[in-house]
């Protein structure tokens, strides 16, 4: 099955020893050389990603409500003026993320063409009640990994990070099985802070599957760090001073990083005598089988070739120390998967945008005009007093607070002119400010591609189809984010497919889940004997797969939609009601629905059911005596007709033989022979064919 180093790091990353010969890109593998290359890569990646991460931080702060420039906010607060923040951005993000939450990501595997035949082998579950192909088992294991990883929660968080900040991350981990510490499990996780990870910025693939390296930065309390790593040299990998990484630079904490490196290596590929293609890993995992059958005509190596492959090395580091590792991760690609926003490529850089990127100015404008309108309305009953300066000279304090306090009276000094202080007319309603705020609100919708129908507002459409079409327009404007998210999750599944055969490589009992979310248990990597031949069943590394990821309603939601669609169909075609009532009950989600569906199926005429749909527990009803008699007569007549046809064929052969003999004797011409044959056939078929009898006709 392959040698495995069961030493596990605290972070859950295990080591796997694959038989390959390294092809080093650096001059040597000394720790100092590795650390120097790592620092260069970290600095380069952070420098390239810095602008995008700065913009991402601005987006996320605006989404959190920090929407006024700090200098303006402080100035207005010191003056006692309102500073309103009416944050509308979260509602737009929640609308798009809510659509995603209502749907479910489903993963299906497609065997590559060369391996389709190998998928015919079935494996029984533990109970012996169902059979599964290798593809179905692998799909079920991926769903089980999603289940134990709480993948839906990670998906929701990362999709929200994508919408609000243009960046999110998935990663694949290994950790000890809590019930059996001698085996490992794979898990899917996310990275909480989207700007705490970087990946090789020189990748060519849109999903960054060709990354040469990646970093996940973290921070640890200085006291804890010195306790765990007393001999380590302290140094931050985020010390070049970019704004986005200032979060790491504190006096009480040390920056550490997980460093993933994809290293080129050579791998030997073998062509076996049975037509199978094995890698060096396959040969190692099938060592017992090969030793048992090798050296005979049944299985031997007929050809081999060396190809370039990759392995992933993991280390935990500071800038000047390797804290843990190196350890080999069980995949050929970096298990860090970025989820990227809307891509814009300029002359010299690639920019990734969030859903709200171009709505930030409109949000600030909205806050300003709403604040201005509020301030104007608030000051309307407190219009300033106007009068001669001498009137206020002896009572400055009272008049200063006249618009702030409810004073019983306001004294003033009488002047020779007889003029007294008077209040200015109140301001009119702030129509202009309100109009500008409404325009800013519309600008926010336009820049995000989300309009009233997409946000649940009522519109002129009345039919369900028209409303759905209008909502679809908004979904189309934001589908780029969903599509990028799906592309990233597809990469997650590809990493799982790479890692599963190396992690689940021993005989063990595995839980699997079906598409309907029903759980079952299978025994993988087992040897069974079939017809005297020993077969290695459910070896998950024997086949190659393509991945398909879809987003759609959950299975329960699909059942509800099926009920609605069936009911609408029956309204249009009432005659189909008696034939489909069991299907409607079967898709309903309430206690007893399945039992009702079974009873309703019994009312369906048998001729409308396939053999597999009939209840096998109830034998078909015996035929009636009339039906038995009709069948007997029909069978007798059929045999009589068959005998007559056989006799005619025999007579025809005899007549042809006689005709041929006459032709030879008389040496007739070909035209005369044809005439004789035609006359003979006419004589044979001269008798009329008896009428056919319908076996369903009543007996007289």
Residue 691 has pLDDT above 60, yes or no: no
- At 285 the pLDDT is 58
Closest CA to 394 of 414, 413, 409, 417: 413
Average pLDDT score over residue span 104-118: 74
Output the pLDDT for position 618: 53
Structure tokens at 572: 């249009």
- Per-residue pLDDT reduced to its tens digit, 172-198: 999 988 888 888 899 999 999 999 999
Mean pLDDT for 249-256 is 76
Q: Which residue has the higher pLDDT, 465 or 583?
A: 583
d(CA 32, CA 536): 46
Instruction: Name the nearest CA neighbour of 235 among 53, 42, 45.
Output: 42
Between 287 and 421, whose confidence is greater?
421
Q: Above pLDDT 90, what percent of the chain?
A: 31
Closest CA to 194 of 57, 317, 95: 57
**Residues 633-664: tens digit of each pLDDT:** 777 777 777 777 777 777 777 777 776 666 55
Instruction: State phi, psi for 528 to the nearest 5 degrees.
Output: -130, 155
Q: Could you say which DSSP state residue 358 is in?
A: G
pLDDT of 398 reads: 79
What is the mean predicted confidence (pLDDT) over 382-395? 78
Residue 459 CA to residue 466 CA, distance in Å, equals 10
Q: Cβ contacts of residue 262 below 8 Å, gap of 6+?
A: 211, 212, 213, 310, 311, 312, 332, 333, 334
- Region 89-106: what's the mean pLDDT? 89
**Least confident window among 104-113, 345-354, 477-486, 642-651:** 642-651
List C-alpha distances in Å: 591 to 519, 542, 559, 562, 640. Answer: 20, 43, 15, 18, 59
Which pLDDT tens digit goes with each residue over 520-563? 999 887 765 545 554 454 456 567 788 888 887 655 556 666 66
Domain parsing of the chain, residue ranges = 4-356+477-537, 553-613, 642-684
User: Binning pLDDT at 50, 70 and 90, where does residue 53 land?
Assistant: very high
Average pLDDT over residues 221-226: 88
**Higher pLDDT pick, 581 / 554:** 581
Reported as a single tens digit per residue, the pLDDT across 342-369 is 999 988 889 999 999 999 999 999 999 9
Report the candidate in 45, 47, 83 with the shortest Cα–Cα distance to residue 65: 83
CA angle (568, 571, 573) in 5-degree steps:
110
pLDDT band at 233 (very low <50, low <70, confident <90, very high): confident
Res 20 pLDDT > 50 = no
Whether pLDDT at 672 is above 80: no
46 pLDDT exceeds 70?
yes
Q: Is 263 buried (19+), middle (13-18) or exposed (0-12) by CB count in 10 A?
A: buried
Residue 602, pLDDT above cutoff 90: no
pLDDT at 621 over 80: no
Three-state SS string over 171-235 comes to: EEEEEECCCCCCCEEEEEEECCCHHHEEECCCCCCCCCCCCCEEEEEEEEEHHHHHHHCCCCCCC
Sorting pLDDT into bands at 50, 70 and 90, what band is 56?
very high
Mean pLDDT of 422-449: 83
E strand or H helix at 266: strand 253-272
- The whole-number pLDDT of residue 463 equals 55
Lowest mean pLDDT: which of 3-17, 242-256, 653-667, 675-689? 3-17
505 vs 311: which has the higher pLDDT: 311
Q: Place 9 in a pLDDT band, splitting at 50, 70 and 90.
A: very low
| Per-residue confidence (pLDDT) for residue 93, from 0 to 100 | 93
Q: pLDDT grade, residue 454 (50/70/90)?
A: low
CA distance 150 to 187: 9
pLDDT at position 402: 75
Average pLDDT over residues 495-511: 89
Spatial separation of the C-alpha atoms in residues 102 and 514, rounded to whole Å = 20
Q: Is 594 helix (H, G, I), strand (E, B) or coil?
A: helix
Q: What is the pLDDT of residues 400-425, one digit of tens each?
A: 777 677 777 778 878 888 788 877 66
- pLDDT of 418 reads 77
pLDDT of res. 277: 73
Beta bridge partners of 198: 215
Query: What pLDDT was estimated at residue 63?
Result: 95
Q: How many CB atoms lie within 10 A of CB 92?
A: 25
What average pLDDT does the structure give for the chain?
Answer: 77
Q: Identify the helix (H) or strand (E) that includes residue 131.
A: strand 131-133
Q: Picking from 25-34, 37-46, 496-505, 616-625, which range would have the lowest pLDDT averaged per residue?
A: 616-625
Q: What is the pLDDT of residue 608?
A: 64
Task: At 380, list the tokens.
Answer: 């309307």
pLDDT for position 5: 30
DSSP 356: T
Q: What is the mean pLDDT of residues 12-32?
A: 48
8 A C-beta contact, residue 340 and residue 44: no
Specify the pTM.
0.70
pLDDT number for residue 471: 60
236 pLDDT exceeds 70?
A: no
Query: Between 689 and 12, where is the model more confident?
Result: 689
The pLDDT of residue 298 = 59
């Amino acid at each position: 099955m392959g040698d495995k180093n069961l030493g596990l790091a605290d972070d859950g990353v295990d080591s796997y020893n694959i038989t390959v010969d390294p092809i080093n890109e650096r001059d040597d593998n000394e720790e100092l050389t590795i650390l120097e290359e790592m620092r260069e890569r970290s600095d380069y990646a952070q420098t390239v990603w810095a602008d995008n991460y700065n913009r991402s931080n601005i987006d996320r702060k605006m989404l959190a409500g920090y929407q006024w420039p700090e200098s303006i906010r402080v100035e207005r607060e010191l003056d006692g003026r309102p500073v309103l923040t009416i944050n509308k951005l979260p509602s737009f993000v929640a609308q798009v993320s809510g659509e995603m939450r209502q749907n479910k990501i489903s993963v299906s595997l497609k065997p590559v063409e060369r391996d389709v035949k190998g998928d015919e082998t079935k494996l029984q579950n533990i109970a012996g009640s169902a059979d599964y192909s290798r593809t179905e088992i692998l799909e079920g294991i991926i769903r089980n990994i999603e289940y134990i990883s709480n993948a839906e929660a990670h998906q929701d968080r990362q999709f929200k990070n994508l919408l609000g900040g243009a960046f999110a991350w998935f990663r694949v981990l290994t950790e000890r099985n809590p019930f059996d510490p001698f085996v490992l499990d794979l898990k899917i996780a996310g990275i909480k802070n989207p700007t705490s990870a970087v990946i090789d910025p020189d990748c060519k693939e849109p999903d960054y599957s060709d990354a040469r390296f990646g970093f996940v930065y973290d921070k640890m309390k200085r006291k804890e760090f010195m306790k765990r790593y007393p001999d380590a040299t302290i140094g931050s990998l985020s010390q070049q001073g970019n704004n986005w990484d200032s979060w790491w630079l504190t006096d009480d904490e040390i920056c550490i990083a997980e460093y993933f490196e994809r290293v080129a290596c050579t791998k030997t590929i073998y062509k076996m005598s049975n037509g199978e293609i094995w890698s060096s890993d396959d040969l190692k995992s099938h060592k017992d089988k090969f030793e048992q059958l090798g050296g005979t005509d049944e299985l031997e190596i007929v050809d081999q070739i060396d190809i370039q492959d990759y392995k992933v090395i993991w280390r935990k580091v500071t800038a000047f120390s390797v804290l843990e590792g190196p350890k080999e991760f069980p995949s050929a690609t970096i298990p860090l998967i970025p989820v990227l926003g809307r891509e814009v490529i300029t002359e010299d850089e690639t920019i990734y945008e969030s859903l709200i990127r171009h709505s930030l100015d409109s949000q600030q404008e909205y806050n300003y005009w709403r604040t201005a309108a509020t301030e104007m309305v608030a000051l309307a009953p407190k219009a300033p007093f106007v009068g001669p300066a001498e009137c206020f000279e002896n009572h400055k304090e009272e008049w200063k607070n006249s618009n702030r306090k409810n004073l019983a009276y306001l004294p003033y000094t009488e002047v020779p002119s007889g003029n007294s202080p008077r209040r200015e007319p109140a301001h009119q309603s702030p129509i202009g400010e309100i109009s500008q705020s409404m325009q800013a609100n519309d600008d926010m919708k336009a820049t995000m591609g989300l309009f009233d129908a997409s946000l649940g507002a009522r519109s002129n459409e009345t039919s369900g189809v028209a409303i759905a079409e209008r909502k679809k327009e908004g979904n189309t404007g934001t589908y780029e984010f969903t599509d990028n998210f799906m592309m990233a999750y597809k990469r997650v599944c590809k990493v799982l497919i790479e890692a599963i055969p190396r992690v689940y490589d021993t005989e063990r009992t595995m839980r699997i889940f079906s598409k309907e979310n029903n759980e079952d248990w299978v025994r993988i990597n087992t040897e069974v004997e079939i017809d005297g031949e020993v077969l290695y069943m459910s070896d998950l590394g024997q086949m190659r797969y393509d991945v398909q990821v879809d987003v759609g309603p959950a299975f329960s939601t699909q059942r509800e939609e099926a009920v609605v669609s069936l009911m609408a169909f029956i309204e249009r075609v009432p005659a189909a009601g008696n034939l489909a009532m069991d299907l409607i009950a079967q898709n309903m989600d309430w206690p007893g629905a399945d039992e009702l569906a079974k009873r309703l199926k019994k009312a369906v005429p048998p001729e409308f059911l396939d053999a597999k749909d009939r209840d096998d527990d109830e034998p078909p009803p015996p035929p009636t005596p009339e039906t038995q008699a009709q069948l007997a007569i029909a069978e007798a007549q059929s045999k009589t007709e068959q005998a007559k046809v056989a006799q005619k064929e025999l007579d025809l052969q005899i007549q042809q033989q006689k005709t041929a003999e006459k032709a030879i004797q008389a040496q007739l011409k070909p035209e005369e022979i044809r005439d004789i044959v035609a006359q003979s056939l006419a004589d044979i078929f001269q008798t009329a064919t008896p009428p056919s009898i319908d076996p369903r006709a009543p007996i007289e």
